[in-house]
Amino acid sequence: MKIWLDGGLQDIDSARVSVLDHGLTVGDGVFETAKTVDGRPFALTRHLDRLARSARGLGLPEPDLDEVRRACAAVVEANPVALGRLRITYTGGVSPLGSDRGDHGPTLVVALGETARRADSTATITVPWTRNERGALTGLKTTSYAENVVALARAHHQGATEALFANTVGQLCEGTGSNVFVVLDGEIHTPPVVSGCLAGITRALVVEWTGARETDLPLDVLDRADEIFLTSSLRDVQSVHRVDARELSATPGPVTAKAMRVFDERSGDDLDP
């Protein structure tokens, strides 16, 4: 595997990031994960726009998006895969031990790994921890991901692939790496970004392409929703057949199935919507 690190391609075995990089020591960094299909990234412009927004929100220097595009193109060309996970990481760079940033400038890493198409449906759990809809990092896609690691490990222990969070006022928020949608009386709803959820790229496209409504939803909507599905860059639209002990249809319901078809068709027609 070849990755892009600070200006050029390097072999994965020789590429090195400093042990004093602020992304490592204090999680001071932002990232994006995009899907690649037959050597082309999906929705890259939207991902780069969000990378820049997250960097600004964290107070990092504005990333050179032209360089990031060049890095993505070089990495994708150097690592041909049918379906890939393109990871862009942008950190505070080499810094003193502690929260203060140094003056060495940011670190940019772009890597690509092969992946497989997700299953049409999956199981989820809810967790007792909450998203803070008023936190300093709310709405930013940062490398401070440890709470997601803990929640996802619990999900895997219970035979699920995703864990769902409420926010501090008990509203449904998001998953560890996904947005959540529910179907009520034939209409699609998803929590608004003010709930504390990340403004997902796939989420935005599904809202645009299906007419889904952004609605404040209590966490217990998961107990009564007719259908539930998740969205993310690698899940696309994925039906949920279990939430905790509640079993739903083993196959995608009619509204979810239509959303899946619409997303597949529209995303296939335009790889940079």
Contact 110, 91 (CB under 8 A): no
Mean pLDDT score across all residues of the chain: 97
pLDDT number for residue 206: 98
Report yes or no: 183 and 225 within 8 Å, Cβ to Cβ.
yes
pLDDT band at 157 (very low <50, low <70, confident <90, very high): very high
Specify the DSSP element, H or E, that contains 130: strand 121-131
**What band does 244 get if pLDDT is binned at 50, 70 and 90?**
very high
pLDDT exceeds cutoff 90 at 6: no
pLDDT for res 23:
96
What are the residue ranges spanned by the domains of the chain? 2-114, 121-269
The full length of the chain comes to 273
Is the predicted pLDDT of residue 141 greater than 90, yes or no?
yes
In tens, the pLDDT along 60-111 reads 999 999 999 999 999 999 999 999 999 999 999 999 999 999 999 999 999 9
Q: Is 256 helix (H, G, I), strand (E, B) or coil?
A: helix
Encoding tokens for residue 179?
A: 């947005």
Phi, psi of 100 (to 5 degrees): -70, 140
* pLDDT tops 90 at residue 52: yes
Q: Report pLDDT for 170.
A: 98
Q: What is the mean pLDDT of residues 231-245?
A: 98
User: What integer is the mean pLDDT of 16-37?
Assistant: 97
CB atoms within 10 A of CB 214: 15
Return the CATH number of 121-269, one of 3.30.365.10, 3.90.1150.10, 3.40.50.2000, 3.20.10.10: 3.20.10.10
List the beta bridge partners of residue 90. Answer: 30, 108
When pLDDT is averaged across residues 114-137 and rounded to a whole number, the result is 97
User: Which pLDDT score, from 0 to 100, does residue 232 have?
Assistant: 98
The H-or-E segment that residue 37 falls in is strand 29-37
Q: And the tokens for 29?
A: 């960094």
Of all residues in the chain, the percent with pLDDT exceeding 90 is 99
H-helix or E-strand containing 208?
helix 201-210
Q: From 3.50.50.60, 3.40.1780.10, 3.30.470.10, 3.90.180.10, which CATH number describes the 2-114 domain?
A: 3.30.470.10
